[in-house]
Amino acid sequence: MKILLKNGSVKGEKVLDILIENDKIIKIGAPNSIQDNEAEIIDLTGLIVLPGLVDLHTHLREPGREDAETISTGSASAAKGGYTAVHAMANTLPVADTAGVVEQVWNLGKSVGLVDVYPIGAVTIGLLGENLAELSAMADSKARVRIFSDDGNCVSDPVLMRRALEYVKAFNGVIAQHAQEPRLTKNAQMNESTLSGQLGLTGWPAVAEEAIVARDVLLTEHVQSKLHVCHASTAGTVEILRWAKDKKVNVTAEVTPHHLFLSQIHCESYDAKFKVNPPLRREEDITELRKALAQGIIDVVATDHAPHPREDKEGEWNSAAFGMTGLETALAVVATAMIETKLMTWTDVARVMSEKPAEIGQLTEHGRPIAENEIANLCIIDPNASWKVDAKDTHSLSTNNPFDGMTLKSKVVHTIFRGRFSMKSGQVQK
């Protein structure tokens, strides 16, 4: 099977033709320089070609919560959003804390075949924060796990965190920390501020995140290991990361699309679609997070796609679940927050949504240059599209998307996964 992509702007720069055969890019050249009678021809005039997007933080919910999402529906949602690889978080039922569970997730991802699914292993058994899980067994398994996280929970015990950081050095692993000091966030509901006081919702102080990030950076430096900070959400965290990078500590960090775009002001609606962990912060935090992403202090955008069934998000704010879906809106939110504001270019978007995440996940077939002999994992975007998000129009089993009803700029139009369309003109190719 051959596909000839004509007149696409590669990373928003040069306009080129790209010929794909089977799973590879076999030829790239100036417009109209490639002829092939067997190829399906797709005209990409006015469109942007990026390497397929890579998500470091996706909750696929399977096994255990197939009422919220399955590997099949989550993969379809990822393909719709331009992703060719996602990392599945470990907080499933059972928890992905053994070679058996990570291999099950890996196999299910392969059998769906819309996106590569890379399991993240739990740091501690059952996410309980007491005993280290079988990290090396997961690393040696068919799933070849390199990222470990108790996401949803923080590895708050400093001794355990130190041991985990030391342990993963043997196979060049990384600990991805959900930074939340549990004693500072007991019953917390939204960002701690005058607004949380006015709304009568228990405050979640920025320091609960920053204290853990600071501690972990110091531990990482002390044992010379690798740390990844999940969903950085405050200006203070950015300051600590800047200091750590200055000191050449081996730390990377992610920010979510929602923390780049939505502030705590949305909590005024008491609509639980805006309830998330970590919480939406102040406008000043959004400004610093955007700047940090543009400067490389924050390395990547990760969705923290967290599907929940309707009954878990309805009703009272205090009893609703934390989390938002985001795979299908991530690219447009980043484009609206970062490109429309001229803070970043499409080359930068390729870096933070594909190349860097692939590097952190140690993936060899994603986030690669768009060049001959590379695996054809591509995401094609209309930069001039303007569209209104409809949360119900989704491949996810859940509809808790906070951007519902908002108008975003740029849209993913095709996704090519290993040389074939996984999504074409908006339609997922199951």
Contacts with Zn ion, residue ranges (CB under 5 A): 151, 178
Residue 25 or 255 having the CB closest to Zn ion: 255
Residue 236 or 323 having the CB closest to Zn ion: 323
**Residues carrying an active site annotation:** 304
Work out how close the CB of 40 gets to Zn ion at its nearest, in angstroms, rounded to a whole number. Answer: 41
- Helix (H) and strand (E) counts in the chain: 13, 19
Nearest C-alpha neighbor of 121 from the set 140, 141, 142, 102? 102
Residue 17 or 151 having the CB closest to Zn ion: 151
Residue 151 or 254 having the CB closest to Zn ion: 151
Cβ distance 209 to 234 under 8 Å? Answer: yes
- Report the alpha-carbon distance of residue 94 to residue 175 in Å, rounded: 20
Cβ distance 213 to 229 under 8 Å? Answer: yes
Q: Residue written as tokens 């393909």?
A: 79
- Helix ranges, 168-320 (H): 194-199, 206-223, 235-246, 257-261, 283-295, 310-313
Nearest C-alpha neighbor of 115 from the set 144, 145, 147, 86? 86
Work out how close the CB of 308 gets to Zn ion at its nearest, in angstroms, rounded to a whole number. Answer: 14
Cβ distance 28 to 371 under 8 Å? Answer: yes
- Residues near 76 by Cβ (< 8 Å), separated by ≥ 6? 114, 395, 428, 430
Tokens of 253: 């960090």
- Separation in Å, CA 402 to CA 92, 272, 375, 376, 399: 23, 9, 34, 32, 9
- Separation in Å, CA 27 to CA 2, 35, 51, 249, 376: 11, 10, 16, 40, 11
Residue whose beta carbon is closest to Zn ion: 178
Work out how close the CB of 272 gets to Zn ion at its nearest, in angstroms, rounded to a whole number. Answer: 17
Residue 171 or 322 having the CB closest to Zn ion: 322
Cβ distance 269 to 315 under 8 Å? Answer: no
Residue 151 or 328 having the CB closest to Zn ion: 151
Radius of gyration for the chain, computed over Cα atoms and rounded to the nearest angstrom? 21
Residue 18 or 306 having the CB closest to Zn ion: 306
- Report the alpha-carbon distance of residue 2 to residue 374 in Å, rounded: 15
